[in-house]
């Protein structure tokens, strides 16, 4: 495992149903107006986690990455960000477990 691991944080806006979402408050407001399919999109939960992480809400971000994985168990960006999030919270055993899981999902990362 590299010492300088950095999460795959992307500064993006998420276009859902004609609304551009670029911060967590917008997500919370706009999601109420969206069809239920937004909740069933692993990329949506991943990006929401990234936004929350950027606002130093690491525990909430981890919950979003886990929600993304409930929808797509092989969503690699969420797996990697979960590992980095646990590392950031100094929960090293969980971090190592998620880094290993990422390698198992994407064998050529090893």
- Which 3 state secondary structure label does DSSP give 21? strand
pLDDT given for residue 30 in this prediction:
44
pLDDT digits (tens, 9 = 90+) for 25-72: 444 434 455 556 667 899 999 999 999 999 999 999 999 999 999 999
Structurally, how many domains does the chain consist of?
1
DSSP conformation class of 36: G
Q: In CATH, what number is assigned to the domain containing residue 87?
A: 1.25.40.10
pLDDT given for residue 68 in this prediction:
96
Average pLDDT over residues 71-99: 96
Residue 65 lies in domain: 14-109
Q: Which residues pair with 14 in a beta bridge?
A: 21
Residue 2 lies in a domain: no
Residue 86 has pLDDT above 60, yes or no: yes
Residues 6+ away with beta carbon under 8 Å from 66: 78, 82
Residue 5 lies in a domain: no
């Amino acid at each position: 495992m590299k010492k300088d691991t950095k999460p795959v944080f992307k500064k993006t806006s998420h276009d859902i149903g004609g609304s551009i979402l670029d911060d967590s408050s917008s997500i919370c407001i706009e999601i109420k107006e969206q069809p239920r399919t937004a909740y069933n999109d692993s990329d949506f939960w991943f990006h929401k986690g990234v936004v929350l992480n950027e606002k130093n809400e690491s525990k909430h971000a981890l919950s979003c990455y886990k929600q993304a994985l409930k929808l797509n168990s092989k969503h690699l960006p969420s797996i990697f960000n979960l590992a980095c999030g646990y590392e950031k919270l100094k929960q090293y055993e969980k971090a190592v477990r998620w880094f290993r899981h990422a390698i198992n999902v994407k064998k050529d990362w090893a």
